[in-house]
Amino acid sequence: MTELPAFHCFIFDMDGTLIDTAPDIARAANRTLVALGLDALPQETVASYIGGGIPKLLQRCLGEKTDEYMQRALPTFMELYTAEPAATSTVYPGVLDALRTVRADGAVVGVCTQKDEPISLAILEQLGVAPLVDYLVGPESVTHRKPHPEPVLKVLQGLDVTAHESIFVGDAATDIQAARAAGVVSCAATFGYGSAESLLAESPGYVINDFAELLGLVRAN
């Protein structure tokens, strides 16, 4: 039997990869829209807008009304979302077991997210994932967001690991692009918010349709 490829550093996107945050994001987004006197959107629609950070999400929700409402929408959303960032969000099946296995086998775990760090850390804490994460990088810690390689390189620097011993798992094309630009092996998570078509178009190193599949393709060392 062929031995699985081994990595010492496992980096993950958060929303749509480790955690299904769409319910809380959609709730905060719709409460924001209603507060502005606009119509709420279906949760599935808001979920399809996730990726690129909260300002991008709100731009997509507001559409042609962005210029008129964005200045009020962003602080309203942040107040609502910060108050309850993980009320109905859930950890994807297989995540906790996989992270425990990876760490038990001697690897380190990083999170590279487009979401503000305080909210990200609060979500990870509330859902019991934080103790399994060694380092987190959000947009405040870098000059450029994904798909620029800087956030991934920042994680590598923080964990004192090299690109060739690392793998980055994400659900968006920007995750795969950032991994490639940083010289890191990529793994596309098709169960998240990005379309499978957009992910496969980036030719990721690995593809998983369920988080539990990850450690059947690679191992930690």
What residues act catalytically?
13
- Determine whether 220 is exposed, middle or buried from the number of CB atoms within 10 Å of its CB (0-12, 13-18, 19+): buried
End-to-end CA distance of the chain: 18
Beta partners for 169? Answer: 12, 187
Q: How far apart are CA 24 and CA 84, in angstroms?
A: 8
Q: Is 53 in contact with 74 (CB distance < 8 Å)? A: no
Coil, strand, or helix at residue 26?
helix
Helix (DSSP H) and strand (DSSP E) numbers for the chain: 10, 10
**Torsion angle, alpha carbons of 210, 115, 79, 124, to 10:** 50
Bridge-based pairing state of the strands 135-137 and 19-20: unpaired
